Amino acid sequence: MIETHLIKLPHGITLSCRMAGQAGRPVLMFLHGFPEAAFVWDTLLAHFARPENGGYFCIAPNLRGFEQSSAPTDPDAYRPKHLMQDISALSAAVCPPGASPQLECLVAHDWGGAIAWNLAAAMPQLMKKLAIVNSPHPGTFLRELQHSPAQQAASAYMNFLIRPDAEALLAADDFRRLWQFLTNGSNGQPAWLTESVKNQYREVWRAGLTGGCNLYRASPLRPPRPEDPAAAGVSLARERLTVLLPTLVVWALDDIALPPALIDGLADYVPAMQLQTVAGATHWIVHEQPERVIGYLRDFLGQAE
């Protein structure tokens, strides 16, 4: 059974978390992206909490600014150091006392992956393994944003999301623009996007969209414009980019915002990487093919380090 609990962290942030399994068991933590929320991981939480599937304690926090989690209004409160502090503190709160590394695996998608990549590079002691689903590594993402017109075009939506009126525009006409995110801009509706799932999204979005937009406002990793150098003005130290942990990367190849060029050269930053590419799947592969994602993760968790 999946339950939701509010966890107040020592630095004053409260995260609304979906949980399954028995506290005290090895922990799997799942981080969502935009415009999603923790509920997107429910199928995986339920699966891996079962005794026959490892009996993990599974937790998926709503990131700050999402659902019922704390939602500071200042965009600077969404800088990576603050997001990393949230997840580090949450890990300490839910992992068995004395566990080191704390998490059996950190699993992340989209913006959750941006946090996870940074944590794995800066604080590898927090986890034994890392699993990433369609979330670009900052090294390859910066390279593509600086030099690839295709990636700049694919990421142009980021400069829409930093507009001061972005929240109002996204909420208009029953969140029409947000549904377009989830349908890859088409008029068709994917099979997974049932009315029940749409209502879960509506509930999250009605709680507020400023936190999600502030993720983009706080980050310079977006396409440059004449009035804003954005990614063109960024340089990242190599030590901030190298991830030495065993890492699973699942990459859906039909992701229109994150083309496959983003996995070119990824092994240079992540030498202990396993890469699984999935043709015919989009950015929303966790919704589209949860059993495939579960299978990859199950195999990865079962392998010796």
Q: What is the per-residue pLDDT across 70-107, written as a single tens digit (0 to 9) for each? A: 999 999 999 999 999 999 999 999 998 877 778 999 99
CATH number of the domain at 122, please. Answer: 3.40.50.1820
Rounded percentage of the chain residues whose pLDDT exceeds 90: 93
Residue 237: name the closest of 262, 215, 269 by CA.
269
Q: What is the pLDDT of residues 252-298, one digit of tens each?
A: 999 999 999 999 999 999 999 999 999 999 999 999 999 999 999 99
Residue 188: predicted pLDDT: 76
pLDDT at 158 over 90: yes
Write down the mean pLDDT value for the chain.
Answer: 96
On the question of pLDDT at 47 being above 60, the answer is yes
pLDDT, mean of residues 9-37: 97
Number of domains within the chain:
1
pLDDT tens for each residue of 98-136: 777 789 999 999 999 999 999 999 999 999 999 999 999
Residue range of the domain that includes 14: 3-302
pLDDT digits (tens, 9 = 90+) for 119-129: 999 999 999 99
How high is the pLDDT of residue 305? Answer: 57
Q: Would you state the pLDDT for residue 300? A: 98
Residue 189 and residue 297: Cα distance in Å, rounded? 27
pLDDT at residue number 304: 60
**pLDDT score recorded for residue 239:** 84
| CB contact burial 92-129 (16+ within 10 A = b; e otherwise) | eebbeeebebbbbbbbbbbbbbbbbbbbbbbeeebbbb
Report, as an integer, the average pLDDT of 162-180: 97
Per-residue pLDDT for 186 more than 80?
Answer: no
Q: What average pLDDT does this structure show over 224-236? A: 94
What's the one-letter identity of residue 97? P
pLDDT class of 184 with cuts at 50, 70, 90: confident
Span 54-64, pLDDT tens digits: 999 999 999 99
The whole-number pLDDT of residue 23 equals 92
Quick check: 185 pLDDT over 80? no
Nearest to 121 by CA among 84, 76, 83, 146: 84
Please give the pLDDT value at position 114.
Answer: 97
